[in-house]
């Protein structure tokens, strides 16, 4: 089945993990295709999430000036357009882009401007989530959420925490998520990826997000799945990335089917298009081959993604109508 022309929604997508070879070599002409494949793409099987994340550094290094940030943002929008993505939430950590003198607020402003301009060129809707990272200090997390508050509007729509879930506790970030809740800033949070159900419970208790980045190890605890359903928590599932980081051995053992059958709200995402060397169309094809998912499954998961998106209801309904028309349901 060809899924390439069907409209798609992506909620879990890291800007600094999604540089095409074209934009990487434009920024640094010394990068050969062989070097790009070796450095920017993570191994098919990493020892753990930490090893996977080391490959993000190669993209971050190329995103330290206004021009570089603009090029990378516009390039990603074109990648999304090529596979008929109609809505995407792109996330990045502005504090990682200050090595050449940019201030974090300048990095946000540059990416916002590029996103606004690029959406029209690419013919899609996209929004921005600002990320703190597990290894950041409390002050850095608070700085990031204050940036999300300052820029909250037509482009910046939410807050996230990413990074090494197994290596760092939640403590440094509790105040930032409290700040977000008190100011009505929608939040998602990476959890249930490098650690199991205990980590998901911890994040739910301390961060109270609307969505979970990954969240797939919730499948290890049936009572947790019931809690997630009752809370209406949406899972942003990234199958290929999960195999790479050792969440599961292979796609056949990925819990996507179990989670779908349990009645949870979820959708399919790439995580890092470059790190995982994957497109959303290819993710769909994998689930079709291994679990028999068809148009009906992807219509349902894309509709759930839109309902969980951090955008006004009117735009959700407009995009849902596009999906239903294209999927002929």
| Residue 227 appears among annotated catalytic residues | no
Q: How far apart are CA 165 and CA 49, in angstroms?
A: 8
| CB 66 within 8 Å of CB 97 | no
Identify the active-site residue in 70, 193, 236, 283.
Answer: 193
Q: How far apart are CA 266 and CA 211, in angstroms?
A: 9
Chain Cα centroid distance, residue 210: 14
CA dihedral 228, 130, 141, 153 (to 10 degrees): -100
Q: Report the sign of the C-alpha dihedral through residues 172, 107, 14, 188, in that order.
A: positive
| CB 117 within 8 Å of CB 153 | no
CA dihedral 272, 307, 213, 163 (to 10 degrees): 70
- Give the pair of three-digit tokens for residue 78: 């074109």
Active site residues: 193
């Amino acid at each position: 089945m060809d899924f390439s022309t069907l409209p798609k929604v992506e909620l879990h997508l890291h800007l600094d993990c999604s540089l095409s070879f074209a934009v990487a070599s434009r920024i640094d002409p010394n990068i050969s295709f062989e070097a790009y494949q070796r450095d920017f793409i993570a191994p098919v099987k990493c020892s753990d999430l930490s090893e996977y994340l080391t490959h993000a550094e190669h993209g971050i290094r190329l995103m330290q000036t206004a021009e570089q940030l603009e090029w990378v943002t516009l390039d990603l929008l074109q990648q999304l357009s090529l596979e008929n993505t109609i809505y995407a939430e792109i996330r990045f950590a502005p504090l990682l882009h200050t090595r050449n003198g940019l201030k974090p607020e300048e990095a946000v402003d540059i990416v916002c401007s590029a996103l606004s301009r690029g959406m029209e060129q690419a013919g899609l809707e996209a929004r921005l989530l600002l990320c703190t990272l597990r290894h950041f200090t409390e002050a850095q997390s608070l700085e990031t959420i204050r940036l999300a508050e300052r820029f909250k509007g037509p482009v910046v729509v939410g807050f996230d925490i990413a990074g090494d879930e197994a290596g760092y506790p939640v403590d440094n970030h509790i105040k930032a998520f409290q700040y977000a809740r008190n100011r009505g800033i929608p939040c998602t949070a990476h959890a249930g990826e490098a650690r199991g159900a205990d980590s998901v419970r911890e994040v739910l208790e301390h961060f109270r997000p609307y969505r979970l980045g990954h969240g797939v190890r919730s499948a290890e605890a049936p009572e947790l799945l019931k809690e997630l359903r009752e809370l209406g928590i949406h899972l942003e599932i990234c199958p290929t990335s999960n195999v790479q980081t050792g969440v599961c051995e292979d796609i056949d053992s990925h819990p996507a089917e179990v989670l779908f059958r349990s009645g949870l709200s979820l959708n399919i995402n790439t995580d890092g298009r470059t790190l995982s060397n994957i497109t959303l169309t290819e993710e769909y094809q994998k689930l079709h081959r291994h679990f028999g998912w068809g148009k009906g499954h992807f219509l349902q998961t894309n509709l759930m993604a839109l309902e969980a998106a951090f955008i006004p209801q009117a735009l959700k309904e407009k995009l849902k109508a596009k999906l239903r028309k294209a999927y002929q349901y």
